[in-house]
Amino acid sequence: MMRLPAFNWVGARTLADAAAAIAADPANTRLVAGGTDLWPNLKRRHQGASTVVGLRGVAELHGIDGDPKTGMRIGAMTRLTAIIGHPVLRAAYPGFVRAVASISSPVLRNMGTIGGNLCLDTRCTYYNQNEEWRQAIGYCKKEVGETCWVATSSPRCWAISASDSAPLVSAIDARVKLVSKDGERVILARELFNDDGISYLTKRQDEILTELLLPPAGGLQSTYWKLRRRGSIDFPVLGVGVSIQRGDHGTVTQAGIHLGAVQSFPVRAQKAIDALVGQPLTEETIALAATLAKQPATPMDNTDYTLQWRRQMVEHYVDGALRELAGLPPKAQPSREGRFVFDV
């Protein structure tokens, strides 16, 4: 049985209490929301903490409110299951709800929170092992070792972003609020993530992610496509978050394409976006955008499936997502296992 290490527990009741507790020793304090990521990491000694601050009792971090016409607010401690079952979110932000619904399994979605998923630790074949296994190889750069076993000559860690919600909220230009003892700031969700497997968040150690702010839903179309071996539980091997807005004549006026699980952060496919904006959403423009979307994807040998095949799937999944938003017949159909069978 894996046991938690010893630590001091602070059950915060207000946001001010939580901010003060983490400010006392940011480097050695962890925040826990649903615990579906932190508790296993502590048990496997991936992470350590002298103090853990529990956020469950902070009422202001819970709940969903607002209006799709002006934007919706979701507290960081809102359970994933609550998001999936919320009728307004399901109608106005179907892509976001689909991304959340793809996370793990029903049991863990009952515990997990949206703030926790956005701040999910990066993952790697060489990191997400038990203590004895990691010790046997001398650990890795993400821990206490000196080598990234994915790219042994690399000066950085290449652990991948494993959040399902992150690519989608990045694609729709959602924002997040960060609060510390010294104040608060609001940033675009995509600015929360950093291209580094170790320092994967731009959030300061003394900051708390308190809420997710969805943009006005008028005219917004979005979807999320996920590649994984099984139809449940598994982390993404590829996650594609796509959004578009179209003008009166069907011309794309705004677009967002972000790729998850191909680097240490959700990658913005800027050339693919540029190919869509100002153009009608036709088979030809979709095909061009899907081809361009593959360029910034640099998957490495640190998760399931071969990296070459995963990179090929970027083009197919972006193509499928855009065809779905355009109302075009799909080239791919979901299999019973939850994966996609392509006619290519």
Q: Which of 16, 38, 59 is the last residue of a domain?
A: 59
Q: Which of 36, 59, 82 is the last residue of a domain?
A: 59
Query: In CATH, what number is assigned to the domain containing residue 48?
Result: 3.30.43.10
Our count of domains for the chain comes to 2
Can you tell me the mean pLDDT for 117-131?
95
Tell me, yes or no, whether 205 lies in a domain: yes
Which of 236, 274, 256, 248 is CA-nearest to residue 322?
256
Question: CB atoms < 10 A from the CB of 186, how many?
Answer: 12
For CA atoms 269, 270, 271, 275, give the dihedral sign.
Answer: positive
Give 126-133 contacts, CB < 8 A, sequence gap 24+: 126/150, 126/302, 127/46, 127/159, 128/44, 128/46, 129/44, 130/44, 131/44, 131/45
Tell me, yes or no, whether 135 lies in a domain: no
Q: How far apart are CA 98 and CA 100, in angstroms?
A: 5
For CA atoms 199, 260, 36, 156, give the dihedral sign.
Answer: negative
Tokens coding 293: 């979307």
Q: Which domain holds residue 114?
A: 62-118+161-342
The whole-number pLDDT of residue 23 equals: 97
Q: How far apart are CA 61 and CA 209, in angstroms?
A: 9
**DSSP count for the chain of H helices, then E strands:** 12, 14
Q: Model confidence over 230-286: pLDDT tens digits?
A: 989 999 999 999 999 999 889 999 999 999 999 999 999 999 999 999 999 999 999
Can you tell me the mean pLDDT for 7-33?
96
Tell whether 70 and 45 lie within a shared domain: no
> If you ran DSSP here, which 8-state letter would residue 60 be given?
G
β-strands 175-180, 208-214 pairing: antiparallel
Question: CB atoms < 10 A from the CB of 223, how many?
Answer: 22
Tokens coding 49: 């903490």
Question: CB atoms < 10 A from the CB of 284, how many?
Answer: 10
Higher per-residue confidence, 334 vs 135? 135
133 pLDDT band, cuts 50/70/90, is: very high
Tell me, yes or no, whether 130 lies in a domain: no
CA separation, residue 268 to residues 35, 158, 192, 294, 298 (Å)? 29, 17, 13, 11, 12
Q: Model confidence over 148-200: pLDDT tens digits?
A: 999 999 999 999 999 999 999 999 999 999 999 999 999 999 999 999 999 99
Tell whether 173 and 265 lie within a shared domain: yes
Please compute, for residue 218, the number of CA atoms within 13 A of its CA located in the half-sphere on the CB side: 6
SS3 19: helix
Tell me, yes or no, whether 152 lies in a domain: no
The count of residues in the chain is 344
Tell whether 2 and 97 lie within a shared domain: no
Task: Specify the residue for token string 């399931």.
Answer: 304
Query: In CATH, what number is assigned to the domain containing residue 95?
Result: 3.30.390.50
343 pLDDT band, cuts 50/70/90, is: very low
330 pLDDT band, cuts 50/70/90, is: confident
- For residue 304, list its beta bridge partners: none
Question: CB atoms < 10 A from the CB of 116, how many?
Answer: 26
Tell whether 55 and 199 lie within a shared domain: no
Tell me, yes or no, whether 155 lies in a domain: no
Tell whether 253 and 181 lie within a shared domain: yes
Tell whether 188 and 333 lie within a shared domain: yes
Can you tell me the mean pLDDT for 44-59?
95
Cα Rg, the chain, nearest whole Å: 20
Tell me, yes or no, whether 285 lies in a domain: yes
Tell whether 307 and 319 lie within a shared domain: yes
Distance spanning both ends of the chain, measured CA to CA: 47
Q: How far apart are CA 326 and CA 217, in angstroms?
A: 17
84 pLDDT band, cuts 50/70/90, is: very high
Tell whether 200 and 287 lie within a shared domain: yes
Q: What is the DSSP string of 250-283?
A: SBEEEEEEEEESSSSSPEE-HHHHHHHTTSB--H
Tell whether 178 and 258 lie within a shared domain: yes
The whole-number pLDDT of residue 272 equals: 98
Q: How far apart are CA 319 and CA 13, in angstroms?
A: 46
Tell whether 39 and 174 lie within a shared domain: no
Tell me, yes or no, whether 277 lies in a domain: yes
Tell whether 324 and 336 lie within a shared domain: yes
Tell whether 208 and 231 lie within a shared domain: yes
Question: CB atoms < 10 A from the CB of 294, how many?
Answer: 20
The helix (run of H) or strand (run of E) holding residue 31 is strand 29-32
The whole-number pLDDT of residue 331 equals: 82
Q: Is 27 in contact with 205 (CB distance < 8 Å)?
A: yes
Q: Is 156 in contact with 197 (CB distance < 8 Å)?
A: yes
Tell me, yes or no, whether 338 lies in a domain: yes
